[in-house]
Amino acid sequence: MKNVKYPLLSIAILAIFISLFSAAAPEAKAATMEELQAQIANLLKQIAQLQAQIGQSESKQVEWCYDFNANLRIGDAGTAVCSLKTALQKEGFEAEVEKTEEGSCKFSEEMASAISGFQQKYADEILKPLDLKYGTGFLGKSTRAKLNKLFGCGVKAATSVSTIPVPVCNIFLTCEGGYTSYNTGEKDSQGCPIIKCVSSSVPAAQSSVSTISEQVKCVFYNSNSKQECYSSAGSSCAGNESCTADVKGKKGEQITWKSSCGGYVYTTIDNQNEYAEFKCVLAPTTTQYITLISPNGGETWAKGSTQILQWKSSPDINMVYIKLRKGSDTYPGTEGAIGGVGNAGTNPGSHQWTIPTTLPDGNDYAIRIVDEKGAVYDDSDAPFSIVTTLSQNNSPKIVGVPAIPEGIQAGQSVNFSWSSQDEDNDDLVWRVSWGDGIEGWTTCPTNNLSNGQGWKYSPSHFWAAAGIYTVKTTVSDCKGGTSSQSFTVNVGVATAVPTTPVSSVTPTLTVIFPNGGETWYMGKTYDILWKSSGVEKVYIAAKVFKDGVSVGSLGIASSLDNVSAASGKYSWTPNSNHLLEGNQIKIEISNTEIPVSGISTPETLPSDESDNYFKIISSGTGLKDVEDMLASVSQAISQLGEGIKELIGR
């Protein structure tokens, strides 16, 4: 007889469905809100009756199980992620998952937050053995071991097939006599929302369960900069080492806190002030350095001559001191104190030094460049010589003027070539100043050889902007003999008689819509509008603010989307995104061309953003929400039907 009642039951359910939907279908378009609510209530009532009948036919139920055999992190997808969501929900942690194009579950930031909560819950078993204080959000070996201990199939007895639990919630409450239904936001033991009747004259917010407030102090350990702390309740604060935020909620409500330096912390609303402690990861610091360029060994300099000392250093060194060394120590006389030099904004640094005539002759001199703290320094790689006179030294001579191309444009790389001669056959070094603040050079050999090396110098250079520049070239034999040459270069400036002037157009971009104050809804398509001139392509981004403080941005159209500036319009559908929803938004539109290495280009790079904030929220309540509820009920019916089919098959 057991196999007979299941067909009868399925026929009864099928009859109910056919009667309900055949009756409702002809008038679906004309159904009012009240009629739809009545249909839903009727369906829910009959589903509950059917579930009760199925439950009576089952003597045993199988517990859900899954073996977690692989580590999981943000971005992973598959069946294991879906099972992880189920396990976390059974432990009381809601973990929303994303969906891939194939429809499988994808590990999200919300799931990482839920895992952190699970790890905190079982900290003695998961975190303490690893010497960790806070959850990591990563599903590793110790976390998998605890999940398998709770839900692993090896510890669950599978003796029969379970029914498919479908929560049955009465989401509508009929109120009379000037009262209206109100969702308190709380749930009962079955997970259904608690609906109450309240007076229509009293705002719903005043009829809800009263909220309590407390303070949470966010502490940023190891932080060396300003950090922000923000919560799932909308509270936030900012500070260097710590900050305090006021938070409100219902008693017992769990609040998730996150900091700009990483990590999640959980607190519970209990009218007691609490701490949210974050261990910040320090940003890597730049290694300081000083590199001496000249003199670097082998030079012979005459007393009374003026020489250029050169070095490179890291940008965070603001001042250097130059010391003359002789032998293995600093030269003891006052004439060896070259002094301190401000180094800010110059790289390479340089200093002109007139060699005192009172220094003794010697071939064991060196220069040391040291920072103001005395912690970072560099010496000449080899000794150089200081002599009273340079015996029979002849200065090198530059031969001719290099060919200067015509019609040089800004940004165009141009090749130059110089030649020099030296009667002493000395090896030569070059230094060129391009007139735009940029210099090039070669260095003296470590041994001052006379092999006729370095007599030619062929560098290339480009000027970032139009103008007339003076190029100065100096050749030296590292013995005090030098020769210089200067000429001008015309970049992007006409040398002939000007013809009819050509008017220039300054590129512009102006955001028209949204420009502040608008309210957009998730899932709806909107046109972003702008006007422009002198611009070919644009890229578009949504800048996100919270209480006026920037918290991130979201790319909408990049250069890969090839958006024409002349179109003046781009259609965008904002989808569900925790960064966008509920925050302050501005649309930014910019020219896609970005200058390289911070060097300005001849083209102006315009951009504009919304004059004020607008917001993006979830769709409002109404008939659409009721239709969504009907769809959910339909899905529940479908799942129930599958369960019945399994029972019939047995």
Query: CA-to-CA distance for 518 and 613, rounded, in angstroms?
Result: 8
Q: What is the pLDDT of residue 58?
A: 46
Q: What is the pLDDT of residue 627?
A: 53
CB atoms within 10 A of CB 225: 11
The CA distances from residue 424 to 156, 392, 399, 428, in Å, are: 94, 9, 16, 11
Question: Do 53 and 9 touch, CB atoms closer than 8 A?
Answer: yes
User: Is the pLDDT assigned to residue 177 strictly greater than 90?
Assistant: no
Q: Which CATH number is associated with domain 508-617? A: 2.60.40.10
- On average, the pLDDT of the chain sits at 77
Q: What is the pLDDT of residue 8?
A: 41
Q: What is the pLDDT of residue 284?
A: 54
Q: Average pLDDT in the 6-15 region?
A: 44
188 or 226, which is more confident? 226
Q: What is the pLDDT of residue 523?
A: 83
Percent of the chain whose pLDDT exceeds 70: 69
User: Is the pLDDT assigned to residue 208 strictly greater than 60?
Assistant: no
Name the β-bridge partners of 239: 227
Q: Which of 260, 273, 262, 194 is nearest to 228 (CA)?
A: 260
pLDDT-derived band at 109 (thresholds 50, 70, 90) equals confident
Give the three-state DSSP class for 91. coil
pLDDT, tens digit, for every residue of 528-538? 998 888 788 88
Query: CA-to-CA distance for 167 and 150, rounded, in angstroms?
Result: 23
Q: Collect all residues with Cβ–Cβ distance below 8 Å to 334 and sequence separation of at least 6.
A: none
Angle at 546 between CA 545 and CA 552, to 5 degrees: 45
User: Is the pLDDT assigned to residue 593 strictly greater than 70?
Assistant: no
User: Residue with structure tokens 């040459």?
Assistant: 485
Q: Collect all residues with Cβ–Cβ distance below 8 Å to 57 and sequence separation of at least 6.
A: 2, 5, 6, 647
Backbone angles phi, psi at 280, to 5 degrees: -80, 145
Domain 210-279 in this protein, CATH class = mainly beta
Q: Average pLDDT in the 32-56 region?
A: 66
354 or 534, which is more confident? 354
CB atoms within 10 A of CB 237: 19
Q: What is the pLDDT of residue 160?
A: 39
Q: Collect all residues with Cβ–Cβ distance below 8 Å to 236 and sequence separation of at least 6.
A: 228, 229, 230, 245, 546, 547, 549
Query: CA-to-CA distance for 279 and 218, rounded, in angstroms?
Result: 11
Tell me the one-letter amino acid at 606.
P
Q: Average pLDDT in the 167-183 region?
A: 58
Q: Average pLDDT in the 579-606 region?
A: 60
Query: CA-to-CA distance for 511 and 610, rounded, in angstroms?
Result: 6
294 or 633, which is more confident? 294
Does the domain at residues 397-491 carry the CATH identifier 1.20.200.10?
no
pLDDT, tens digit, for every residue of 214-263? 999 999 988 878 899 989 888 899 998 899 999 998 888 889 999 988 88
pLDDT, tens digit, for every residue of 264-304? 899 999 889 999 999 887 655 568 889 999 999 989 899 98
End-to-end CA distance of the chain: 13
pLDDT, tens digit, for every residue of 46-87? 776 666 655 554 444 457 899 999 899 888 888 899 999 999
Q: What is the pLDDT of residue 280?
A: 83
Give the three-state DSSP class for 28. coil
DSSP-assigned letters across all residues of 392-444: T----EEES-----SSB-TT--EE--EEEE-TT----EEEEE-SSS-EEE---
Q: Average pLDDT in the 88-116 region?
A: 86
Q: Which CATH number is associated with domain 290-387? A: 2.60.40.1930
Question: Do 609 and 129 touch, CB atoms closer than 8 A?
Answer: no
Q: How far is CA 204 from the centre of its chain?
A: 39
User: Is the pLDDT assigned to residue 25 strictly greater than 60?
Assistant: no
Q: What is the pLDDT of residue 173?
A: 54
Q: Average pLDDT in the 83-101 region?
A: 86
pLDDT-derived band at 167 (thresholds 50, 70, 90) equals low
Question: Do 417 and 456 touch, CB atoms closer than 8 A?
Answer: yes
Q: What is the pLDDT of residue 423?
A: 83
Query: 617: which 2 tokens?
Result: 């929220």
Domain with CATH 2.60.40.10 in the chain: 397-491, 508-617
Q: What is the largest CA-CA distance in the chain?
A: 125
pLDDT, tens digit, for every residue of 446-495? 566 678 888 899 998 999 899 999 999 998 887 778 888 999 999 985 44
User: Is the pLDDT assigned to residue 136 strictly greater than 90?
Assistant: no
Backbone angles phi, psi at 459, to 5 degrees: -90, 175
Kindly report which listed range (391-395, 500-504, 633-637) carries the lowest average pLDDT score.
Answer: 500-504
Query: CA-to-CA distance for 214 and 246, rounded, in angstroms?
Result: 6
User: Residue with structure tokens 């444009």?
Assistant: 409
Q: Average pLDDT in the 170-186 region?
A: 60
Number of H helices, E strands in the chain: 8, 40
pLDDT-derived band at 643 (thresholds 50, 70, 90) equals low
Query: 398: which 2 tokens?
Result: 């530059």
Q: What is the pLDDT of residue 320?
A: 86
User: Is the pLDDT assigned to residue 591 strictly greater than 80?
Assistant: no
Query: CA-to-CA distance for 416 and 405, rounded, in angstroms?
Result: 9
